[in-house]
Structure 1
Amino acid sequence: MALAINVKTIGAAWLASIERVLDDGDAHFDEDVAILELRQGLAITITNPSVVDPVIDCWGDRAVVARMLKKFSRNSKMADRPFTYGELIYDKNGVDQFAWIIDRIREKPETKSATVSLLSEGDSSKNLPCLVSLDAKLRGGGLDLHFFFRSQNIFGRQYANLTALADLQARMAEELACQVGVISGYVSSPHIYNYDIDNAKNVVSGVVFDNVDKFYSHGPESIRIGY
C-alpha cells in the first residue's frame, strides 16, 4: 500500500516526503549511484499550494527553483537537456496541451477527462520525463491539478517540481477565472540520493545551511556526462 501525505503547503509536503523516504526507504541504486527508495510509492495531497513558501525559501536551492520554472514555461528550450516540460505541455507533437485542457474544461466544466500525457509512445531515450501525466478538474469552484511522477528526486527536485506545478495550476485557474484548488498525485519511485542524505537529515532537523544542488555533478552517469 502506498504511503500518503496530506498537508497544507508545498514546504510541508517536501518535509514530510523527505521524512518518509529517510524512515522507510530501501537501499537501491540509480545506474552507478546509491539511493534510498520507497518501493510502495507515495501519494501526496497539498490543500493550499503556493509558489511562495517559507520552507522552500529557507532550504531550497533558488537556482534549482528558477531553472524548474523556466523548464515549465512556454517556448522553453535548454541546450543541456533533451526536452523541457514547457515543450511537452505547450507543444507536444504540435499540440498545445495547456490550451487543450482549458478548452476541454470550458466546454464541459464537470469533465473527468482533461488529462494529458507527457510521454511519447515508443520513446526509447535513456532519460524519459519524470512527470508523465497531468489531470485538471474544476471542483467546488477551484481548479484541482493532479499528477503522476514515474520517479522523483525527493530532496533535490521535489520542492521545485511542486513549485512549478503550483505556478502552472495558477495559470490554468486564471484562464478559467476560478480559484486555485488542491494539488495531488502519486510518485511511483520517490527516492533520495545517498550523497544528499546528510543534507536531507539537516532539513528535517531544522538545521539552516546553504543548500547547493549536486545532481549534475554527483547524480547518475547519464546525467553527469550530459546529452
Structure 2
Amino acid sequence: MMEGLKFLLVFVVLALASSFASASDPSPLQDFCVAMKETDGVFVNGKFCKDPEQVTEKDFFFAGLNVPRDISSPVGSNVTAVNVAQIPGLNTLGISLVRIDYAPHGGLNPPHTHPRATEILLVVEGTLYVGFLTSNLAKGGNRLITKVLNPGDVFVFPVGLIHFQLNVGKTNAVAFASLSSQNPGVITIANAVFGADPPMNPNVLTKAFHLDKKLVEYLQKQIWTDNNN
C-alpha cells in the first residue's frame, strides 16, 4: 500500500513539474489544425479546425516579408507579425514570426512584453541596442541585461519579460524574430499604462511612477500609437 502511495506521489510531482516547465503552446495531437472562423461554439485556447480534406497550401503561406515597411511612426519602427491571424496553419503549432523595421538614429521598438512567448531575434541589417529586464531578484530590484547587435547576431528575450530594441546606427535596421507561440500577444508598457481604455485612475499612476498628477493626466491624453501590424 505504502509503495503504491509513493509511486502515485512521484507521478503527481513529475506531472506537475512537466506542466510548469512548459514554456510554449501545448503540443498538437494531429498533423495540423488549420484555424477557421466559427461563430457557434465554445472558444477554448485556440481556434476551430478546418476539415483536413479542405486544407490547401494557402493555409500555410504568407508573402512579402522581404518588403521594407513604413517607419514613419512616432517611435520610428514597424512590427509586421506573421502569426495565426495571418497563417491559419500555425494554429496549435506553437510558433510565429515577426519582421521589425527601424528608422535610423533612434528607431525604437518600445519596452514591451509577450505574455505567452519567448522571442529569439536575428539582426539582418543595421546596429541595434537591445535588452530585457529580469523579474524581481532575491535581493530586490530588476537587473537590466543589454547587448549591441550587428548583422548576423542573435539575442533571446525570455518569455514574459520586458524587452526593447533601439537602432543606434546611421542607417535603417531590420530584424526577424521567432516566438514560441502561435499568438504570443504583446503589451507595450507605455501604451498599456497611459493609454488604457478606460483610463487608469491617475492617483495610481501618480504614486507608482512618482509623477505629478498633472503630468500623468497630460500623458493619458496623448495618442499612443501602436507599431504592431
TM over 0.5: no
Q: Per chain length, whose mean CA-contact separation is higher, i.e. which structure has more relative contact order (CA < 8 Å, sep 6+)?
A: 1
Structure-1-length-normalised TM-score: 0.25
Larger Rg: 2
Structure-2-length-normalised TM-score: 0.25
